Amino acid sequence: MSETGMAGIIDAITVAVELAGILVIIGGALVSAGLFVQAALRNPPGDAYRSLRSNLGRSILLGLELLVAADIINTVAIEPSLESVVVLAVIVLIRTFLSFSLEVEIEGRWPWERNARGA
């Protein structure tokens, strides 16, 4: 297979994984909204709101993981240059920080506290 053909396949895979990440975030937002409406009708508003934040946060986390995977595939598979690796590193750092922040927001505690409490 030619290099051009392989690059086209890798580009298609990257786009598919990016699209999956976007769909997970959008789908998660819609499902979270639906669950919020159901919970708001049955439970106090505070409980429904906490559930919405938790569900939405998990959807965003999963979508971000897919987007990071697409960036890695794109950078590693197509002739990596120092510039593209640095850009990937910055993107991964930013998305990791976002993921970490969302995890803390969803769980309400630091990740290392989970093991200390026996959870």
Q: Are 67 and 21 in contact (CB under 8 A)?
A: yes
User: 12-21, 49-58, 85-94, 109-118 — which is least confidently predicted?
Assistant: 109-118
* 91 or 21, higher pLDDT: 21
pTM of the shown model: 0.75
Between CA 17 and CA 62 the distance in angstroms is 12
Phi and psi, residue 77, nearest 5°: -75, -35
Task: Return the H-helix or E-strand segment holding 106.
Answer: helix 82-107
pLDDT in tens, 52-74: 888 998 898 899 889 988 888 88
pLDDT in tens, 97-117: 887 887 787 777 777 776 655
Nearest Cα to Cα of residue 99 among 50, 55, 66, 64:
64
